Chain A
Amino acid sequence: MFKGSLRKHLWQAMPAFAILAAMIAFASVFSEKFATYANIKNVISQSSTLAIAAIGQTFVLLQGGIDLSVGSTISLSTVILAQVSSVPGVGIPLALITAVLAGALVGLINGLGVVRFRIPPMIITLSTGSLVKGIALLIQPKPGGNISVTLLDILTAKAGVLNTSSLMALALYALAFLTLHYTRYGRQVYAVGNDALHARQSGVAADRVVVTTYMVSGMVAAVAGMVLAMRVFSGDPLIGDNYSMDSVAAAVVGGVSLIGGSGSVLGALAGALVLGMINNMMNMLKVFAYYQYIIKGAILVLALLVFRIKRRARTTC
């Protein structure tokens, strides 16, 4: 059905889907509450933010970078929404546009730092992440603010188990999948992640590709922030902190290579759902919050180990 390298990229995502399926089966058996309508709705809506953020992270990882400013951009986006969206009249469109533009700007700075000033991606994105977090704190030091009720109504409108947020996530995934696997731009992202020098020699404008992936990541993070703001119904300058690492984890669990050039964005979706499931299951099993971090970390290490072993088996046999 799928031709070319897409088959390989999807194959790399398979373990994540298998883990997801196993977790669903496990949860359905061991918890009566899991398979309820309310809970499934809850898992999906909880996972939406991470799933969306993981799209942008995947773009960046595929071209060989990493974006650790995602979390701060998400926080900033929630703060912008909380401050601007309830301004009468122009508030809603102004808030949405400002948030996305802010994300794009963060991405632009990251991208230019990487291609112009040759700063390692991890360093530049950590730095801008800190910078953005500071700005978010300046704008709104504490959780709160006013989010437009109209916007809330729009973004939480339901269609079965899916609400507007999760539909938005799905639409973004479809768009990202098409872009990465069926457009020349997508092909270039993979080419740069494989070998930037030779991609350049094949006529790929590698610098432009790198910068745009960071901008995609920033803008997508802004959207993730909106979804998160709707769910908690407030702006919070620190709420996004975990998403930088979690979005990397989701993508990598989903089979996206940390060194770039292989994996599929669909894997990132599975990875995000796996992480969401872990949270949900532990909440239902009433695991104490601090243990949740430990267990989540352990499960991630385990998942990554499975990948390492799998990959080694492939290369030596």
Chain B
Amino acid sequence: MQTNQNEVILAGCGLCKQFSGNPVLTGVSIACRRGNVLALVGENGAGKSTLMNILSGGLMPDDGRLEMDGEEIVFSSPHAAKARGVAFVHQELSLMENMTVGENIMLGQEPLTGRRLISQRALHREAERILAEIGYHVPVERIVSELTPAQKQMTEIAKAWAGKPRVMILDEPTSSLNKTESDQLFRFVRRIRDEGVSVVLITHRLEEIPLACDDVMVLKDGEMTAHERVDRITRDEIICRMVGREITNTYPARCKALSADLLLELRDVSLGRELSHISMAVPRGSVIGVGGLEGQGQYELARALFGIRPFTAGEVLVAGQPARIRSPRSAMRHGIAYVPDDRKLEGLVLPLSVGENISMLVLKQLCARGLLNRRKTEACALEGMESLRIRAHSHRQPVASLSGGNQQKIVFTKWLQFKPKLLVLHEPTRGIDVQSKLEIYELIRSLTAQGLSVLIFTSDMLELIGLSDRIYVLYEGAVSGQLCGEDATEEKIMQLSAGLGNAAGGGEVPHV
């Protein structure tokens, strides 16, 4: 095993890449070794995706070369790389929504019968076998559009694994997975490592690194700033190499006492079969967290609060007054803002500019005599960019060209222009870099200090515990328990998430 460990399957030497004059990768070398798991970390925009795209045939390097098994190689396309055994599981899932899980996994390698027709039976049996190897059960005949994000992620991984890759690159595979599912995935990663596969794992969750990885490589601004064995580097050191400064306290201090003045109260609200009898209270100036496993009704609850699919029963009170929230417009009239989990699809208009996105909700104020006033619009955009430290060349830049962290800050800015009273955040830091994460945490606190209330739905356990003044845990569409921010622990939350409400001991905390 020791001798195998050093065998390099795929290597990139001195890779450089520029996009329209901006260097995104300068002289980075990387080696994917047999039977080794390499963690690749760095802020968004540090060049991780670019590096991985070069390794997997999605991009051509401007300078430097690739070697496979010691020989120079050029990948003309992702498919060419795949054919040589390099599989890249993207964060943007590439599944065919109208096909079944099995058909997706086996796409391009469908088993044929003697008459060259596809054998659907053999296909689904084979797909089932591949999923079993990963150790995660997804019904193979289910249509993909009906899957949960976690199931889609696992299907995506199975699809890559079906090609029997020698190098497997996973881009933030755990961002849509809960703890159990992540553990399952890491077990799979360790097993294929022992079988000799080389794995590269891109992640923003640093606590995951020791669970599955052998080496860590840190990128910052297109350069490698660290490459160490996992046991020789601490989490703080990694963060330090990523952002170039020491971060001592990740989460800002929480506010001590919850106000008795409730901004939002839910009394026994239900939504079809998905949500049943949920009661919650959001005091003014507090951060209320909602946790639980993936798909326990968080999505439905967040969207019902914003009127996208309204509650079917129960009472919603805003500032003590009964409120009928039947649509996003009516939610906004009550001062509710919603930062959705899928910023690219729902939070932003990607082809439009930074400025156009920021000013989207306040166009009325920016008008003079029925026409948009350019000076006012620009002022609004610049002020928004300034206040949240959005890193963009200009407010005319299309948001599609920005990194995830900056995009998310634009969604925040857009809603803050509108001066909401309640901010409903759905996975606000999913897939964004550490620096932006911290800035968003600080922003949330400074907003609550100004009297705004925040309701945050997150699957990031540390974020949930670190930010929330009170935590509600959802299980199968109902509240399985609530915890005070101070005494919340991962274990207690996990127990509530698994529906073991009473065993958690957290039980019912009386309403404030």
Contact = CB atoms under 8 A, between A and B. Distances in A.
Interface in A172-231: 178, 182-184, 187, 190-191, 193-195, 197-204
A184 B103 CA distance: 11
B438 interface: no
Interface in A1-48: 2-6, 8
B309 A191 contact: no
B425 to A, nearest CB: 23
Contact of A202 (B79, B98, B120, B124): B79
B98 A3 contact: no
B110 interface: yes
A309 interface: no
A261 interface: yes
A262 interface: yes
Interface string B111-143: 010001110110110000000000000000101
A131 B124 CA distance: 47
A190 B108 contact: no
Interface in A239-271: 257, 261-262
B39 to A, nearest CB: 24
Contact-residue size bin, chain A (C-beta under 8 Å from the other chain):
20 to 34
Contact of A199 (B96, B117, B141): B96
Contacts of B83: 203
Contacts of A3: 120-121, 124, 141
Interface in A120-151: none
A271 to B, nearest CB: 19
B466 interface: no
A317 B309 CA distance: 10
Q: Which of B82, B94, B99, B123 has most A Cβ within 10 Å?
A: B99
Interface residues of B, number: 30
Given A195-B94, A195-B96, A204-B108, A6 B79 contact: no
Contact of A317 (B82, B123, B272): B272
Contacts of A191: 96, 99, 107
A262 B107 CA distance: 16
Contacts of A201: 77-79, 94
A4 B79 contact: no
Contacts of B261: none
A203 B124 CA distance: 20
A257 B145 CA distance: 15
A191 B108 CA distance: 10
A4 B107 contact: no
B102 interface: yes
A202 B94 contact: yes
Contacts of A204: 107-108
A198 B94 contact: yes
A200 B99 CA distance: 16
A190 B78 contact: no
B110 A5 contact: no
Among A2, A190, A203, A257, residue most surrounded by chain B Cβ atoms (within 10 Å): A203
B97 A261 contact: yes
B79 A203 contact: yes
Contacts of B110: 184, 187
Contacts of A195: 94, 96-97
Interface in B345-363: none
B117 to A, nearest CB: 4
B141 A202 contact: no
Contact of B117 (A182, A194, A198, A262): A182
A112 to B, nearest CB: 21
B41 to A, nearest CB: 25
B100 interface: yes
Nearest 5 CB-CB pairings of A with B: A198-B94, A194-B96, A3-B120, A182-B117, A262-B98
12 contacts: A2-B120, A4-B102, A4-B123, A5-B98, A183-B118, A187-B110, A191-B99, A194-B99, A195-B94, A202-B79, A261-B97, A262-B98
Interface of B: 77-79, 82-83, 94-100, 102-103, 107-108, 110, 112, 116-118, 120-121, 123-124, 141, 143, 159, 272, 309
Given A4-B100, A183-B116, A203-B82, 16 more contacts: A2-B120, A3-B120, A3-B124, A4-B103, A5-B99, A184-B112, A187-B107, A190-B96, A191-B96, A194-B96, A195-B96, A197-B94, A202-B94, A203-B83, A203-B108, A204-B107
